[in-house]
C-alpha cells in the first residue's frame, strides 16, 4: 500500500487531488492535513511515502515543511510534491528540499506522471 499525505488548507484542494489520484492509481492509502503542524503529526504517526502539499499553508509554508522532513534522517525517504499557483522561479526559499513541483491549475496526467515517477525512485 502506497501512503500519500495531502496537505492543503482548502478542503476542496485536498479532495480534488485525492479524486484524481484515486481514478488513476490503485493500492493507495490517503491521509489529510490542513496545515503544517497537523501534517507533521500525520508523518510521525503514519510514515507516508509521498507528501503532496500546497506552498501556502496557514502556519508554515510548504518549503519549510519539506526542509523539516528532509533534514530528519527518519523521514528523508519521503518524496515531496509542492503544489502552488506561483511560478517555480518566484518561490521564496530553498527548493532543494522538494522532489517535484506542479503549478496550479495542474494537468491531471502530469500529476499522475510525477507520482508514478516518484514511486519508481523510492528510497
Q: Please, what are the averages of pLDDT over each run of 10 residues along the chain (123 residues)?
A: 96 96 95 97 97 93 92 95 71 73 89 93 58
**Which residue, chain included where needed, has cell 501534517?**
39
CA atoms within 13 A on the CB side of 123: 2
Integer Cα distance of 52 and 78 in angstroms: 10
**CATH fold for the domain made of 2-120:** Rossmann fold (3.40.50)
* Predicted local confidence at residue 103, as pLDDT: 87
Nearest by Cα to 51 from 89, 97, 91:
97
* Predicted local confidence at residue 87, as pLDDT: 55
* Predicted local confidence at residue 116, as pLDDT: 94
- Contacts with 12 (C-beta within 8 Å, 6 or more apart), sequence order: none
Nearest by Cα to 97 from 79, 114, 122, 111:
79
Reported pTM: 0.91
* Predicted local confidence at residue 111, as pLDDT: 95
* Predicted local confidence at residue 14, as pLDDT: 96
Task: For residue 6, give the 3-state DSSP assignment.
Answer: strand
Amino acid at each position: 500500500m502506497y501512503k500519500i499525505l495531502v496537505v492543503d488548507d482548502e478542503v476542496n484542494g485536498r479532495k480534488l487531488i485525492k479524486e484524481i489520484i484515486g481514478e488513476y492509481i490503485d493500492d493507495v492509502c490517503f491521509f489529510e492535513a490542513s496545515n503544517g503542524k497537523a501534517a507533521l503529526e500525520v508523518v510521525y504517526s503514519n510514515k507516508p511515502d509521498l507528501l503532496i502539499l500546497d506552498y501556502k499553508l496557514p502556519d508554515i509554508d510548504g518549503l519549510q515543511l519539506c526542509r523539516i522532513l528532509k533534514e530528519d534522517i527518519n523521514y528523508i525517504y519521503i518524496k515531496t510534491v509542492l503544489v502552488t499557483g506561483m511560478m517555480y522561479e518566484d518561490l521564496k526559499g530553498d527548493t532543494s528540499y522538494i522532489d517535484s513541483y506542479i503549478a496550479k491549475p495542474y494537468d491531471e496526467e502530469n500529476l499522475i506522471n510525477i507520482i508514478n515517477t516518484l514511486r519508481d525512485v523510492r528510497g
